[in-house]
């Protein structure tokens, strides 16, 4: 298998972190330079269908994009440690928190960064109104995560799951514009520090 990857971008980083948590080392990493249009070449588009990263090319030639689809496929191929849920009930709760993390927090913050960081103007027609609105939306939604993390060490279960990976990488992408969670969100702060200390955090950089 081959993973088409690019440094710094948050969605590929999700997959790298996921792979690091599982100790997956037998997938070839193919780095694309987005600033040079590596994701828009005819060869890449023929595989991926869209100019998106990451993309996973399977052994049979099938190529899939979307970071969560890739992670779910890898979960089926490398089932341990489990990151998507062991029982129907646990799987449903993890899915709920993964979607909340992505829709309420990660996506708005990522959009805010893409529309405000000067270096990303080469990839995005930036709009400061979009940047401000999405950044504020993502920061407000952190209160939802803080309440959950006041009840549980991790977001989706009693162990780290894909929900934590999605949430943390979205929040951490905000560092590009010096965005920090509000200081009164003490549970988010505790959890974020635990995420930074995981070996997978360094592997996924």
The superfamily in CATH containing domain 2-77 is Glutaredoxin (3.40.30.10)
C-beta of residue 198 within 8 angstroms of C-beta of residue 159: no
Is 88-199 in CATH node 1.10.3720.10? no
Phi and psi at 101, nearest 5°, equal -60, -40
> CA–CA separation, 7 vs 10, rounded Å?
8
Mean of pLDDT values over 144-164: 98
Query: Residue 64: is the preceding peptide bond cis (ω within 30°)?
Result: no
What is the domain partition of the chain in residue ranges?
2-77, 88-199
Q: Look-up: residue for tokens 């030639």?
A: 61
Mean of pLDDT values over 33-44: 92
pLDDT one-digit tens code per residue, 63-118: 999 999 999 999 999 999 999 999 999 999 999 999 999 999 999 999 999 999 99
């Amino acid at each position: 298998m081959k993973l088409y990857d690019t440094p710094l971008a948050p969605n590929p980083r999700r997959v790298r972190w996921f792979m690091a948590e599982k100790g997956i080392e037998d997938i070839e990493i193919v780095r694309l330079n987005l600033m040079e249009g590596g994701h828009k070449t005819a060869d890449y588009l023929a595989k991926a269908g869209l100019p998106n990263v990451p993309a996973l090319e399977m052994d049979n030639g099938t190529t899939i994009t979307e970071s969560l689809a890739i992670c779910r496929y890898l979960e089926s191929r490398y089932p341990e440690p489990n990151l998507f849920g062991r029982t129907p009930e646990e799987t449903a709760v993890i899915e709920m928190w993964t979607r909340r993390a992505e829709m309420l927090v990660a996506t708005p913050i990522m959009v805010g960064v893409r529309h405000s960081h000067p270096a990303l103007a080469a990839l995005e027609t930036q709009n400061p109104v979009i940047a401000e609105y999405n950044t504020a939306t993502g920061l407000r939604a952190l209160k939802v995560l803080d309440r959950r993390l006041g009840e549980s060490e991790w977001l989706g279960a009693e162990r780290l799951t894909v929900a934590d990976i999605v949430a943390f990488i979205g929040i951490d992408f905000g560092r590009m514009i010096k965005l920090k969670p509000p200081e009164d969100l003490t549970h988010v702060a505790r959890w974020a520090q635990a995420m930074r200390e995981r070996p997978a955090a360094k592997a996924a950089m």
